[in-house]
Amino acid sequence: MRIVQITYRYRLEPGSGQTAVLARSAGARRWVWNWALSRKRAYYTLTGKGLTYHALAAALTELKQQPATAWLRDIDSQLLQQALRDLETAFGNFFAKRARFPRFRSIKRDTPRFRIPQRVAIAGQTIRVPKIGLIPARIHRPLAGTPKSATFKREADGHWYVAIVAEQEVSAHTNRTPRTHVGVDLGLKSFAVLSTGETVDNPRVFRTQQRKLARAGRAMSRKQRGSANRAKARAQVARLHAKIRQQRSDFLHKLTSRLVKSFDLISIEDLSVRGLARTKLAKSVYDAAWGQFRTFLTYKADRVDGYVQVIGRFYPSSRRCGACGAANHALTLADRVWMCAQCGSTHDRDVNAAGNIDREGVRLFMHHVAAGHAETQNACRASVSPANAGKAR
């Protein structure tokens, strides 16, 4: 057996009093972050050394005893300590060159949120939160496993959500030989084409809501800044964006779950999403959410002891004939159907690419399992332009 972490996200339905307490808790987290960051910067200026978490935690305890900051005693202690730990992690990421220097949190720009590492539990259709009590919530699915940390966050549309991380026991990896396998060719015209011949239509979620978004944005721009009507219009824009995000996530979850349940080995390409996002196709690339698709596919396959094989981005899946293996170097993006000059086979571009991805994925997987080392063969010395690396085919 092995332990995996699964996140459950529920929408909260707090009353007016509970909403105020949630906002106050988020404000306390922001205040402690800014206070600790100021202390660390001042201490480094004086001594040239860093201030540790334990020193800040002790100072925070003393701070609660002072009359001016006695209000901190009304906030859960673990919530405040978690803010100090988050700041420590931020500095660690900065020194490891994974992030920039931590900045002060602005009350206008910082998203209201806080995290409690323990003691948050589900009780019926409510969430039990320390120092707040039972908050009604939409428990759309039961929480399985041992709950750990809980993150509370208010989205731009004004609704509060809680994300609870739970630990579950699943079966260990068996390194079994996959019995069923499929290749997935991602694209923009069709979201995906499978090596089985199935085509998954691209929902184009953002494109379908673009006119509504534009109309809501124009309505908001006509409202006076700082007015209640502008706040309502801004909330309407946020609700539209939330709807787009939820529709896209729903589509990806359903597709990846179906693939993982149907196939033991799923092969996909290592697309350069970041590179494509710099082209004129940026809006369509972000709307397709290929990176999110790969993330969902990877963790879901891991849970059920499946495999996801990633093919190198320079592998010529579209140019290679699936029948004889000959490469068609004259193939262009406009050629959706082409004939092999060597064997005369006629190929649908996307179906042929998916089949090649499937075969290459099986080969790489068997090579890795049988030989015990990673595959290193790539498109070395091939005619590949770095500027077009990972371009949609």
**Distance in angstroms (rounded) separating the CA atoms of residues 335 and 306:** 34
* Matching residue, tokens 């004889």: 324
Which secondary structure element, helix H or strand E, spans residue 363, and what is its range? helix 349-371
Residues contacting 370, CB < 8 A, separation 6+:
none
Which residues participate in catalysis according to the annotation?
Answer: 185, 269, 350
Decide: 145 and 168 in contact? Cβ < 8 Å. yes
> What secondary structure does DSSP assign to 322-339, as a single string?
TTT--B-TT--TT-SEEE
- One DSSP character per residue, 191-206 reads EEEETTS-EEEP--HH
Contacts from 270-274 at CB under 8 Å and sequence distance 24+? 270/310, 270/311, 270/312, 270/313, 270/390, 271/186, 271/313, 271/390, 271/392, 272/313, 272/389, 272/390, 272/391, 273/390
d(Cα 46, Cα 255) in Å, to the nearest integer?
56
Provide the 10 A C-beta neighbour count for residue 124. Answer: 10
Q: Are 94 and 103 a contacting pair, CB within 8 Å?
A: no
What is the distance between the alpha carbons of residues 323 and 341, in angstroms, rounded to a whole number?
Answer: 12
Question: Which strand (E) or helix (H) includes residue 147?
Answer: strand 146-154
Taking the C-alpha atoms of residue 101 and residue 91, their distance in angstroms, rounded to an integer, is 7
Write out the two tokens for 233.
């219009």
Burial 210-227 (b: 16+ CB within 10 A, else e): eeeeeebeeebeeeeeee
136, 125 contact by CB (below 8 A): yes
